[in-house]
Amino acid sequence: MQKPTIIEVNHVSKQFADGKFALNDVSLSVQKGEFVTILGPSGCGKTTLLRCIAGFQTVSSGDILLNGEDVSQMPPHKRPVNTVFQKYALFPHLNVFENIAFGLKLKGFDRATINNKVKAALKTVGLTDYEERDVDSLSGGQQQRVAIARAIVNQPEVLLLDEPLAALDLKMRHDMQMELKEMHKQLGITFIYVTHDQEEALTLSDRVVVMSEGKIQQIGTPTDVYNEPQNCFVADFIGESNILSGRMIRDKRVEFMNLEFDCVDVGFGEDVPVDVVIRPEDIYIWATDKTVQPSQTEYDPDDRVPKGKFTKWFGVVQSSIFKGVHYEMIVKTSDGFEFMVQDYHEFVSGTEVGMLVKPEDIQIVKKEHYIYNYFDGEVQKNGKVRFVDADWDVLPERIEGKNPGEKVRVRVAFRAIDLQDHEEEGTLSGEVHFILFKGNHYHLTIRTDEGNDLYVNTNDVWDDGDRVGIVIHPEDILIDSLAN
């Protein structure tokens, strides 16, 4: 049964004064009573989206409908939504009662009604008899509860929560998560919850909205986004994944690590480069030497391998870490591909193992870009070519017959971009913006200081946020004429 839509975000963009897009054509609809989580790393635009819904920020384009009414231009105090702020934002000059009663007093309720409502709200958040307390005297968790009570006491149609648990310690956070879920059930209010914690998002929500770079990457139930990630970002951000470059041979048949596998995905076309996502817990692992026994006793080597015709591959365990319930092992194949495998049995470092994955556990993801970076370039007077806001030396024969000022298409292979530790050694400098381990190499997104993105494949290990110098050798810069 489809419930009525309460919030509709239609093609909303938010551009800040510096020209950067915090939100880029975001569309989302939320049903009445739903618990929706907006999940993403910091700077992905999730808080901006929430602030646009609350009315603290205006949208640059697009509109936001609340119960079918366009509220894009409505000031925050007129919107039937309430917000729980990340740092609580309790009024320090008012006590607990006055904080919670703030909204009710503005709406002109009489004293008795206010009293009853505040008492009820305090009871909901488990702070009965805290009315007279000074807010500064409360612990972080208690302040959080007051902030929630202050919002829900107004019986908003939508409750917006901006990373409300981020400041609490782990144990407290888990308790509050359960309480929030309980409150959501009890109150029947629509919750829109912003977090960067993927576990929190999966635990709490009916639906998860995964955001990155101001765009929605995927919307789905927690199981959907975990089991069926639509792209590498989602696969990498939510849970652990093995991500490899592959090739779709035809429907239901994929190749990676130079092996062919059956899979269940269709519609990618034939002979199309794709990314392959395999969750570490979906890999079956067994010792190839049947005399080798893993740490546990109940282990039947023949029972480890599912019956059927599956493609198997082999490797040697590199490391093993106990993770409480399972062991997390890194296995390396003879071709140099590394896999993360999770299993209840431990295969110690050095064990030769076989692995397989069932077709339904192979997730095929469309490649958004592959092999080459493409840039718009312009031939310069000095024989250089200008692209990504820098002038580059190129082989003279590649721009033969081209006049200065002529626009060209520049192509640089991911592999051809050289990263230097020292920024000054590069023609350009930038920052490692996103890292994806592809089994036997890293796929990096480098953001230059001018804000251009370059994709780089490398075997070197870099960290998120590392400053790098970018070098591209003249022979690696391919120039294509623009088709007129």
Partner 1 sequence: MKQLTEITLSRRTWAWPYVLFLVLFVVLPLLLIIYYAFTNGQGDFTLYNFIRFFHTTEAVNTLIYSLAIALITTIICLLLGYPAAYIMATAEFKTPAVMALLFILPMWINFLLRTIATVELFNMFGLPLGEGALLFGMCYDYLPFMIYPIYNTLQKMDRSLIEAAEDLGANKREVFTKIILPLSVPGIYSGIVMVFMPTVSTFAIAELLTHNKITLFGSLIQRSFGEGGIAMWNYGAALSLIMLIIIALTSFFDQGDKDDAQKGGLV
Give residues in contact with partner 1 (CB under 8 A).
54-56, 75-78, 81-83, 85, 87, 89-93, 102-103, 106-107, 150-151, 154
Q: With contact defined as beta carbons under 8 Å apart, do 452 and 386 qualify?
A: no
Shortest Å distance, C-beta 102 to partner 1: 5
Q: With contact defined as beta carbons under 8 Å apart, do 430 and 397 qualify?
A: no
Shortest Å distance, C-beta 150 to partner 1: 7
Cα 169 to the center of its chain, rounded Å: 22
Shortest Å distance, C-beta 27 to partner 1: 24
Query: Nearer Cβ to partner 1, position 85 or 299?
Result: 85
Query: Nearer Cβ to partner 1, position 136 or 300?
Result: 136
Helix axes 96-106, 111-124, angle to 10 degrees: 130
Shortest Å distance, C-beta 46 to partner 1: 17
Query: Nearer Cβ to partner 1, position 88 or 286?
Result: 88
Q: Which amino acid is at 405?
A: G
Count CB neighbours of 107 within 10 A.
Answer: 10
Q: Indicate the helix (H) or strand (E) that contains 53.
A: helix 46-54
DSSP string, 257-278: TTEEEE-S---S-SSEEEEEEE
Residue closest to 444 by CA, chosen among 453, 429, 455, 431? 455
State the pairing for strand pair 158-162/81-84. parallel
Query: Nearer Cβ to partner 1, position 131 or 281?
Result: 131
Shortest Å distance, C-beta 147 to partner 1: 8
Residue closest to 164 by CA, chosen among 48, 151, 206? 151
- How far apart are the C-alpha atoms of 278 and 364, rounded to whole Å? 9
Query: Nearer Cβ to partner 1, position 62 or 76?
Result: 76
Query: Nearer Cβ to partner 1, position 150 or 367?
Result: 150
Helix axes 170-187, 140-152, angle to 10 degrees: 20
Query: Nearer Cβ to partner 1, position 91 or 344?
Result: 91
- How far apart are the C-alpha atoms of 201 and 37, rounded to whole Å? 6
Shortest Å distance, C-beta 83 to partner 1: 5
State the pairing for strand pair 61-66/69-70. antiparallel
Residues 145-158 as b/e (b if ≥16 CB within 10 A, e otherwise) read: bbbbbbbbbbbbbb
Shortest Å distance, C-beta 64 to partner 1: 15
Shortest Å distance, C-beta 52 to partner 1: 13
User: For the chain, what percentages of helix, strand and coil (3-state, to nearest 5) are there?
Assistant: 25, 40, 40
Query: Nearer Cβ to partner 1, position 154 or 363?
Result: 154
Shortest Å distance, C-beta 266 to partner 1: 47
Query: Nearer Cβ to partner 1, position 68 or 92?
Result: 92
- How far apart are the C-alpha atoms of 23 and 41, rounded to whole Å? 14
